[in-house]
Structure 1
Amino acid sequence: MAIAFPRTITDARVFIKQYVAVLCFAFLAFVCLIAALKFTAASFDYYQVRNILASWQEQGNEQTVGEYQLAKTAIESAIDSQPSHALYQDLLGQVYEWGALAGYEDKEQALSAAKAHYLKATQLRPLWPVTWASLAMIKWRQQEFDDEMLTYLQHANALGPKKPEVHLLYVQLGMALYASNHPMLLSIRETFYQRISLGLRDSKSRAKVLALIKQYQADKRVCRWLRNEPLSVQRMIPHCPSRKDLAKYLR
């Protein structure tokens, strides 16, 4: 097909404008294509890591170091593409926490890295309670029972009144603090009791709460702590006495 070249100055100006418009459109389309490819690749990395983490959380530390490195590389790649994505930062925090617990990384360094990524996630998405709960768990793993830990717990509690992950954090921590007679229990005791009740009512956390009660052989204590809760909640606890028997026990 022959190209019609401009014959006059006016035609030349029109030709140049059309040519520039086509180039701009082509460049914009190319940029959009690159962005779409990066987004697709990052999404693929995210789901790949999420599946590996879910498997680890279900099976404990049975995942291999190769799978750990694969997950770490994938989520770091996703963050390189979208560094301001809060979920990716949170997921990398989970990966580092996994590395610390499984012995694939230096424990203290990995926990510090996990904390840094969780904090980055809270900056990007401050209203997500599970990330605050994860930060409190990191402080527990670091054995740092201080005001910073209480702040993380308070954020998780305030932002996630119905979150099963927050129920479980409080029940796990409260049971451990009670068993070790730790003074921090006094700071969270009321919320700890509330979260036991909420965790039992929530079908997503009930089995794990009951498992923790069994692990700590705390059925009688929990019955006593929840004596003002509805009978429907108390009856979920094995060997929980009736209110009449409980009243005798408390005398």
Structure 2
Amino acid sequence: MTRLSLEVCVDTLEGAWTAAENGADRIELCAALSEGGLTPSHGFMVAAAKLPVPVYAMIRPRSGDFLYSDLEKTVMLRDMEAAEQAGLAGIVIGAVDNQRHLDRDFLTVALKGTGLPATLHRAVDTVQDYLKAIEDAIELGFERVLTSGQAPKAEEGLLLLEQAVRLADDRISVMAGSGITAANANRILKTSGVSELHASCSSVKRSQQPQDLETRLGFVAEAGSKDTDGNAVQALRKAMDQFTETAV
């Protein structure tokens, strides 16, 4: 069995390097992971392009749902151009229409307007007809789809994940994401049949001074801030490699 791909989502440059140096095969570059991941700045994209692994930029102009206005779609197209100009390897994008189907019209324009490969993000988990959306993603030309099987956590969406893998039939890669850890990786891989996993591999870094000025002013949460944990990346990478070895 070939190596299973591990994608790590990050929202700091230090986190991106930590992920790359500890076993990530690809980076999903975001701003504000606390909001589910938003479009990173152009400067962040340029700096991340120097990483030794492929970097895909999240194209998401705001938090919330995936029904975008024409103004927001214009911003997204410009951000895609910025990602390409920065030298990144790909983009991560998604959108739905007011009927809760993939917004095929916009996504067709978006994918035809870039030379970068694209991942369909978890907008797919909000659609009315999940398996139709997988087929739509294939027809639109997406490289992969990131999904939790329409569940809050991938471990709870294994049935739909397995159905997506069977429907895809190697025409598109299905990447499981949301709540992925070294502890549940084996079960998710074995049950669903996905060939890629997506995780933040983060841990909370608590302030040494809980009542410091940044915390009191609300810039830093009292519980601390999250960032990429190299040990978590290594542990997940090891679990994936062990699964590959036992599956041969």
Shorter-chain TM-score tier: 0.3 to 0.5
Structure possessing the higher relative contact order (Cα contacts under 8 Å, 6 or more residues apart):
2
Higher strand share: 2
TM-score normalised by L of structure 1? 0.32
Q: Whose helix proportion is higher, 1 or 2?
A: 1
Q: Which has the larger radius of gyration?
A: 1
- TM-score norm. by structure 2 comes to 0.32
